[in-house]
Chain A
């Protein structure tokens, strides 16, 4: 699920999904936001 949100954000940025997953701790899509997004949009 968390990967799904990250993937959407990286689709918006047009950079590869693999890149995001190697750097998840340092990127903008921190866990609080991800959980909130998942609940709100039922992703």
Chain B
């Protein structure tokens, strides 16, 4: 695959750099929170040179074991989960896990979660001094905390308040991970930017569920879970496009990227970077494959990555 690049990869990778506002990434690929451990675990099998940034597991104030099993179910080529933000908690993360991340090459994005605005703020304050962290991602859209699937994105006042207060206590860029479960993604995004967020991540998993047959029991330990993987891609693509029509802010596109076409499509509708989540379970080499594939694509079309971002048009697609 792409032997042309194999001997001089570093020079070619430079052509893939992209910006999320002031945050420069070596490549547009960001490893999504919740699917890439804390970030150090795959060093032996994934080529980190091709990763723009790694997002940690969502960190909460206290250690969380997450929800009860079963909490994974594969359905229609996608993954239904109710992990429930299992994580070490902020103190153990800072003392035991963060030292393992200090020397990784990609940028590090710290995902933060909580059950209250105060909890988010406490975690941000506690971890603000970690210099390797390039940005804070507020996970305000996990469907697996409240048993009814509700999250902060369904409470605009609280969401706005959280972003404003977070803005006041961190100097790092703030990313807000938006829910896909509200129709007005662009409206929620606009609210976050107005409150002081720098970057939007569109979006988290879709609320979903499934029943066993014929006994009709929920397949997970809770009625609802988060659905991810290839089947959600067209919906995610539409949400990114809709948001880009209304906002100029930097966008990370998330949802169903498992191949080059989907990754490039996200860039073409206006995303500045692309998140890889569930796709990494299928292929640990995805960041490198996407990088080499994108380089080939840019060369064939004779365009830069900056020109590719937002290039999608109705005219170009007619007749194909």
Question: A residues touching B (Cβ–Cβ < 8 Å)?
Answer: 8-9, 11-15, 19-20, 22-23, 26-30, 33, 36-37, 40-41, 43
Contacts and interface: CB of A to CB of B under 8 A. Distances in A.
B283 A37 contact: yes
A14 B278 contact: no
B149 to A, nearest CB: 19
B115 interface: no
Place the interface of chain B in its size category. 20 to 34
Interface of B: 34-37, 41-42, 45, 57, 66, 69-74, 79, 81, 83, 86-87, 219, 229, 278, 280-285
Nearest to B67: A15
Contacts of B87: 14
A14 B56 CA distance: 11
Contacts of A43: 45
Nearest to A37: B284
A23 to B, nearest CB: 6
A5 B97 CA distance: 22
A29 B35 CA distance: 13
A13 B67 CA distance: 12
A43 B280 CA distance: 15
Nearest to B66: A15
- Most chain A CB atoms below 10 A, which of B36, B45, B72, B79: B72
30 contacts: A8-B42, A8-B284, A12-B37, A13-B37, A13-B72, A13-B86, A14-B37, A14-B57, A14-B66, A14-B83, A14-B87, A15-B66, A15-B72, A15-B83, A19-B69, A19-B71, A20-B72, A22-B69, A26-B72, A26-B73, A26-B74, A27-B73, A27-B74, A28-B72, A28-B79, A30-B74, A33-B281, A36-B283, A41-B284, A41-B285
